[in-house]
Structure formats: structure tokens, C-alpha cells
Amino acid sequence: MKKITPYFLALSLSFLFASCSSNETEVVEGTPENLLQSYTLKRDATGAYSIDFNTTNNTDVTTITNVDNSKEIILAETKQKTATKHSNDFSIENDQLKIGFLETNRGKTTKIYVEDDNITLAKGVTEFLNSYSITANVDGTYTLNFTVNDNVAADFNYNEELKTHEVHLSNGTSTQKTFSRELKIQTDSNILRLDFVNHKYSARDEEIADTERKPKSIIIGDAVI
């Protein structure tokens, strides 16, 4: 049996520690990739909801329905090349829609809550709003696009007390039907709230005090579980 001299022992240990240090650096400095690149929540003129989203080209996508009827879109890394554009259709149940993205490589979740009328029960679109969409962009900003019906006026407001972006809709003579706005997320909570506030009128064309907040959307982004 050959003896291990102090020189070779020191050399071996030096190589071992250097290797471990290199591996630790890779683990610490390596940042998991964002599998979810962007998405757009949409409600069309019939009241039907859908979501279009983009992923990296190595993302496996699985959609499941939980026991509470919420929808969960699970994104996982894969070595195979995959599609990058995806689309899912959803329906409002009990006036609610809950959608969640889970990026398994980062333990990161994005949650979307919508409160709106069921198109089957409502038998058509709302009185003022025709369609709308909210897009979460790659750079972290959000874009609201919406279209109103004929003879509808739209005003924008940020409610500081409720921390909610509001679109006030009422009867009016405006000829503009399509609108677009950039929305800011609450950086302290990472929550975006948007309410369409419908100002109803009586048969005598007198504005009543009560207003209806529908649809209502809440987006909770970049939550790590």
C-alpha cells in the first residue's frame, strides 16, 4: 500500500475545497428563470372570460381544477422544446372566477380574482361595459384596455381609501368607445385592484345613490410560497 504524503494530502484537500466553493457559488448566484413571461385576462362582448399567456420555450403547462372550482395553471421546467403561446377559456361560477399560476421552479404564484355576472344568468353583457382586458407585461407594468357600449361616458379615478383603480361608467353623449390606461400595482403589497363602477339611473333618468361594482378584478403577483 502506498503512503499518502503530506504534500499530496494537502493538494487533494485544496482541490476538494476549491470544487465545493465553486459549486456553492453557482447555487447562490443562479437565479431560476421566470417561466411565466406575460399574460392577458380578457372578457369579450358576450361576457365570456379567457386568459392568454406566454411562457419560455422549455415550460410544461398543466391546468387543474381545485375542489373550490378555482383554476390552477402549473408551469414546470422541461428539457424538451415547448410552445410559448397558450390560451385557456374560463367561465364565471357563482359570480366568481379564480385563476392561479404556479411556477414550480421558483415556488412563485400569481393569483387572479374576478367578480362578475354569469353570462348565462345575466343573459347578455352589462349595461355599460362591452369588453375589457388586463395585460401583465414583461417589464412588470399592467395595461387596461376596454370598450363601452353606445352613449356611455367613462371616467378614471384612483380610490386612495380602497387602494383601487376605478373606471366610472354612466349614461352620456361621448362618442369615444375604446380606452386604454396604464395601471400601477401597489408596490408594498404587490396587489392590483380594478373596479368598474356602474352608475345606474332610474326610469325618470335620475341618478340613484347606489352603484354596482362589476366586474371587479384583483391581481396578486410575485408571491413566493
Average pLDDT over residues 38-53: 94
Q: How many CB atoms lie within 10 A of CB 51?
A: 21
- Rounded distance between C-alpha atoms, residue 44 and residue 65, angstroms: 22
Q: Based on the fold, state whether residues 24 and 47 are members of the same structural domain.
A: no
pLDDT for the residue 154: 94
Give the containing element (helix H, strand E) for 28.
helix 6-29
Q: What is the average pLDDT value for the chain, to the nearest integer?
A: 82
Is residue 89 within 8 A of residue 71, CB to CB? The reply is no
Domain boundaries, position 149? 36-224
Q: Based on the fold, state whether residues 59 and 102 are members of the same structural domain.
A: yes
Q: Based on the fold, state whether residues 104 and 18 are members of the same structural domain.
A: no
Burial class (CB in 10 A: 0-12, 13-18, 19+), 120: exposed
Query: What percent of the chain lies above the pLDDT cut of 90?
Result: 58
Compare 188 and 51 and report the one with higher pLDDT: 51
Q: Based on the fold, state whether residues 137 and 92 are members of the same structural domain.
A: yes
Contacts 24+ apart (CB under 8 A), 88-94: 88/50, 88/51, 88/63, 89/48, 89/49, 89/50, 90/49, 90/50, 90/51, 91/48, 91/49, 91/118, 91/119, 92/47, 92/49, 92/116, 92/117, 92/118, 92/119, 93/69, 93/118, 94/69, 94/118
Q: Based on the fold, state whether residues 48 and 84 are members of the same structural domain.
A: yes
Strands 71-77 and 96-103: parallel
* Domain count within the chain: 2
Q: Which residues contact 56 (CB under 8 A, 6 or more apart)?
A: 33, 34, 35, 37, 84
pLDDT for the residue 31: 61
pLDDT for the residue 223: 54
Q: Which residues contact 175 (CB under 8 A, 6 or more apart)?
A: none
pLDDT for the residue 118: 82
Average pLDDT over residues 6-21: 43
For residue range 144-195, what is the model confidence (pLDDT) as tens digits? 999 999 999 999 999 999 999 999 999 888 889 999 999 988 777 889 999 9
For residue range 120-150, what is the model confidence (pLDDT) as tens digits? 655 554 689 999 999 998 888 899 999 999 9
- Rounded distance between C-alpha atoms, residue 193 and residue 51, angstroms: 18
Q: Based on the fold, state whether residues 8 and 80 are members of the same structural domain.
A: no
Residue 13: band (very low, low, confident or very high) from pLDDT cuts 50, 70, 90: very low
Q: Based on the fold, state whether residues 155 and 209 are members of the same structural domain.
A: yes
C-alpha cell at 40: 392577458
Q: Based on the fold, state whether residues 109 and 68 are members of the same structural domain.
A: yes
Q: Assess whether pLDDT exceeds 80 at residue 42.
A: yes
pLDDT for the residue 15: 40
pLDDT for the residue 203: 39
Compare 8 and 101 and report the one with higher pLDDT: 101
Residue 14: band (very low, low, confident or very high) from pLDDT cuts 50, 70, 90: very low
Q: Based on the fold, state whether residues 22 and 68 are members of the same structural domain.
A: no
Burial class (CB in 10 A: 0-12, 13-18, 19+), 73: buried
- The type of residue at 155 is D
Q: Assess whether pLDDT exceeds 60 at residue 29.
A: no
Q: Based on the fold, state whether residues 108 and 10 are members of the same structural domain.
A: no
Is residue 125 within 8 A of residue 144, CB to CB? The reply is no
pLDDT for the residue 146: 98
C-alpha cell at 6: 503530506
Q: Based on the fold, state whether residues 23 and 106 are members of the same structural domain.
A: no
Q: Based on the fold, state whether residues 46 and 94 are members of the same structural domain.
A: yes
